[in-house]
Structure 1
Amino acid sequence: MRNSEEYIENRLKWRAGKNGLPSANSYFFDEIDTNEKLKFHEILQSFDIGKPVLLFKGENNTWTIIGTKMIASGKDSSFEAIEHSEIDTYTVGEDPMGIFSEPAKMKDFDKAKQHQIIMKAKEGRILTIHGQRGSELYAMLNIILMIDRITTTNEK
């Protein structure tokens, strides 16, 4: 049961609810408009993201879908995706802690202005996960933290 798509879907929805989602720019995928669902299914057809559970709409036509197997993020119809088990490290915004580059000066880092999460896959690939500035982005980060814990626990 712990590895099942149903379990992961339920955990994603539970964590989303604990973080005040859905909200103005985040949705449960099964509750969005049918035409929008079809658009995203067409875009994502080459990947097995599992069951799409959460949709986050970011700035300038960017979006992120968290599925039961993968996270996909992009702009319009171009995107990149990562399997949950392939996530190595991640940070909010422009890498303030220097995980991917030199550390930014923390006094110059404004949490409220961040609208992306930078992720590194285990093989070294860097991805940008898009969201809205503010609480929705940090809710997404909390969901990714939970995914990381589930994946790490399942690998043991």
Structure 2
Amino acid sequence: MTDQEIKNNIIEKALEYGAPSAYAALFDDMSDTFRNKFMNHISDRDFGLPIVKYGHPNGCWVLIGTKEIAWQNERLYFLPIDQIVRFSIPKKEKEKAAEIQPNRMMRKFEFEILTIHTLDGDSYDIWLHKGKEYYGFWHMMIRFFGWRRNDTSQSV
């Protein structure tokens, strides 16, 4: 798939999962100031096309590109999407959600931190607004994992 085909597909999925919202925005719809600043950060990277940004009330955010993701916590980080092995919910996040929402069926809407695990064994915590933005991001990444599986199975 070309970068533009990936972008179109992810935009379609993002719209299905509630973007834009208070904490999710399509990159093309963001302010010129943010877009220009971000484009300067990726000018020497193989980021691909920026697609959708998911944020958190604390100011942290994660932006999905066609080849990498970027996230802003205390500083700006980049990670190639093909280096991501899986996601998990940190134990402390599960415990916090259980305190906030004792009903087991509702806890997933209280999660705000997602841990990204990479091929080299590293892990990174990212902040996402709880609820639909959290799961919107998760489903965008599932789409990338599906493409990776299909690419691998076709080349074998």
Residue identity opposite 1:21 in structure 2:
A
Rounded to whole Å, the distance in 1 between the matches of 2:70 and 2:149 is 20
Of the candidates 40, 59, 62, which is equivalent to residue 61 of structure 1? 59
Contact 2:67 2:81 in 1 (8 A): yes
Q: How many residue pairs are counted as aligned between the two chains? A: 146
Pair 1:125-2:122 in alignment:
yes
- The structure number with the bigger radius of gyration is 2
Rounded to whole Å, the distance in 1 between the matches of 2:148 and 2:126 is 18
The equivalent residue for 2:35 is 37
Rounded to whole Å, the distance in 2 between the matches of 1:148 and 1:5 is 16
Q: Secondary structure at the match of 1:59?
A: coil
Q: Secondary structure at the match of 1:88?
A: strand
Contact 2:73 2:126 in 1 (8 A): no
The equivalent residue for 2:47 is 49
Q: Which runs of 5+ in 2 are unaligned?
A: none
Of the candidates 19, 24, 36, which is equivalent to residue 26 of structure 1? 24
Task: Give the structure with the higher percent helix.
Answer: 2
Q: Percent same amino acid at aligned positions?
A: 20
**How far has the Cα of 1:80 moved from its partner?**
2.0
Q: Which runs of 5+ in 1 are unaligned?
A: 97-102
Contact 1:16 1:139 in 2 (8 A): yes
**How far has the Cα of 1:112 moved from its partner?**
2.2
